Amino acid sequence: MKILLTTPGGNIGRRVLWELLAPEFSVRVIARDAAELPEEIREQVEIVCGSADDAGTLRRALEGVEALFWCVPPAPAQETSMRGHYERFARAACQAIRQAGTSRVVSISAGGKGFARNAGLISGLHAMEDTLNESGAAIRHLRCAPFMEDLLRQLEQIRQDGILSYPMPGNIQIPMAAVRDIAEVALRFLARRTWKGIEGVAVHGPADLTYDQTAAIMQQVLARPIRYREIPSDDYVQTLVSSGASVQYARSVAEMFAELARGIMRAEPRTVQSTTRTTLAAWVENELLPLVEPLTTRSEIEAACACEV
């Protein structure tokens, strides 16, 4: 089976890629720069250099492909239209998939479909779904809960001040999921030829947790004081702008948290099938604890924070 992967170096994409390096799969990837992939990977996959928002590049990459793993790279902080970012990639994909006659697509989306209003990147992903649905392919949209890995963006503040902060109340439950588990769900669909039609697939972490509870779990596992602090939305926007983000980008992130606080993740009810296995405590121990040790360098922190949304 030949499978095409976009964002092969992303948090989810690289995990999917490693699992597909098996005799029963032939893997092709789209990458802006082949050198970004580990040498041992480059020797085992076919690389198409370019960007997945270019319909011509994507059309060539889809030649002879049975299934596409579709994940839009995160918008740069200077982006002025979050929705426009995701729609640009989706339009290119829709055109290329239709022309190539690709059978199946597994896309990384977000929970809250049908509930979210102006929810920044979440609304962008939902617009992406609607565009891809016109491609003629069978599709499984993985409607993921917020990633545990998003917490790494607060790594330096957690290490220095013992504070986790977002522009939303600390008592709102969110079913955060680990990207390794999201990758496992994607792999299950990529490896099967039997499914048809277009469906959304909920992907939840094992528990619905508030940020107050998240901070308490961090404190227990990290063995250092950690507390959650709600930050006013305007202050959060100003902090992002001060760090180089566009005003539009910063506002879209704040709008996403406002919608999360409104409970949009309830759009996809939790089921046994939607519930993944990695607990937040296990994730903190395996992923966060090594990074909060005193010898962690700024370069290591920045590398860890290059998270895929």
Q: Does position 296 have pLDDT exceeding 80, yes or no?
A: no
Locate 255 and state its tokens: 């709008």
Residues 6+ apart with CB under 8 A from 240: 77, 249, 250, 253
pTM score above 0.95: no
Q: Give the end-to-end CA distance of the chain in Å, rounded to a whole number.
A: 28
What does CATH list as the number for 2-146+177-203?
A: 3.40.50.720
Summarize the confidence of residues 200-224 as an average pLDDT: 97
Q: For the segment 77-100, what is each residue's pLDDT rounded down to a tens digit?
A: 999 999 999 999 999 999 999 999
Residues 175 and 47: their CA atoms lie apart, in Å, by 35
Strands 138-144 and 163-166: unpaired
Summarize the confidence of residues 208-220 as an average pLDDT: 98
Tell how far CA 150 is from the center of its chain. 9
Residues 39 and 22: their CA atoms lie apart, in Å, by 17
Q: For the segment 88-142, what is each residue's pLDDT rounded down to a tens digit?
A: 999 999 999 999 999 999 999 999 999 999 999 999 999 999 999 999 999 999 9
Q: Whole-number mean pLDDT of the chain?
A: 93
Query: What is the residue-wise DSSP string for the chain?
Result: -EEEESSTTSTTHHHHHHHH-STT-EEEEEES-GGGS-HHHHTTSEEEES-TT-HHHHHHHTTT-SEEEE-PPPPPTT-S-HHHHHHHHHHHHHHHHHHHT--EEEEEEES-TTT-SS-THHHHHHHHHHHHTTSSSEEEEEEEPPBGGGGGGGHHHHHHH-EEEESS-TT--B--B-HHHHHHHHHHHHT-S---SEEEEEEB-SS-B-HHHHHHHHHHHHTS--EEEE--HHHHHHHHHHTT--HHHHHHHHHHHHHHHTTGGGGS---TTTB-S--HHHHIIIIIGGGSSTT--HHHHHHHT----
**Would you state the pLDDT for residue 39?**
86
Residues 6+ apart with CB under 8 A from 149: 11, 178, 179, 287, 307, 308
Strands 67-70 and 2-5: parallel
